Amino acid sequence: MAIRLVLVGPRFLFFFFLFAIAFSGAFASNGNMVTEKTLAMIKPDGLRGNYTNRIKKAIVESGFRILKEIIVELDEDRASRFYAEHSSRNFFSGLVKYMTSGPVCIMVLEKQNAIADWRAMIGPTDATKAKATHPNSIRAMCGLDSEKNCVHGSDSLQSAQREISFFFEEETGEMVGKHDEL
């Protein structure tokens, strides 16, 4: 039996190298795909409008796992601390009043690319814009405007970690962070 050497061309090696780099960070050391966690919140208008079950169904059907879930009523202090990065903005007092107007459903979601996928599902912050540009988004389905937009989603890995710990673990350190999501 003869052994045959096959030489591969530089084009094959180039694409193999790109493929290897693209997926090298996507796997944990045990070979499993790395997942992300993100915070999802159904705001008072979403709960009042009976959208909770529809939103949770869409979450699960999109491949997310709901790891933790609580329903809480935020008081003024807690809502102010959660949205502290917006405290100097003119809409802040209205936002706090809205977020304390009824219970909210807080969830920790998990899947590959969870942060970006959840943000894509919820659509633009302004629900009016979402209705025009992202008609299948959650905010198009149940949001009213840029403040009463039905849901919240972490906008970065750092925000997700901070927001998850805000609701599900002991708070440590300064809660003020930089993110653009309401």
List the binding residues for ATP: 43, 91, 119, 125, 139, 149
| β-bridge pairing 151-153 and 36-42 | antiparallel
Q: Which residues contact 177 (CB under 8 A, 6 or more apart)?
A: 85, 158, 159, 162
Which of 86, 134, 152, 179 is catalytic? The answer is 152
Closest C-alpha to 61, from 22, 15, 109, 16: 109
Q: What's the token pair of residue 64?
A: 């997310």
What strands, in cross-sheet order, belong to the sheet with 65-72?
Answer: 65-72, 104-111, 36-42, 151-153
In whole angstroms, how far apart are CA 131 and each of 64, 122, 125, 140, 181?
24, 11, 11, 4, 18
Q: Is 86 tagged catalytic?
A: no
Give the number of residues written for the chain. Answer: 182
What sign results for the dihedral spanned by CA atoms 108, 109, 115, 117? negative
**Binding-site annotation, residues:** 43, 91, 119, 125, 139, 149
Residue 123 has φ and ψ, to the nearest 5°, of: 85, -175
Q: What residues are labeled active site?
A: 152
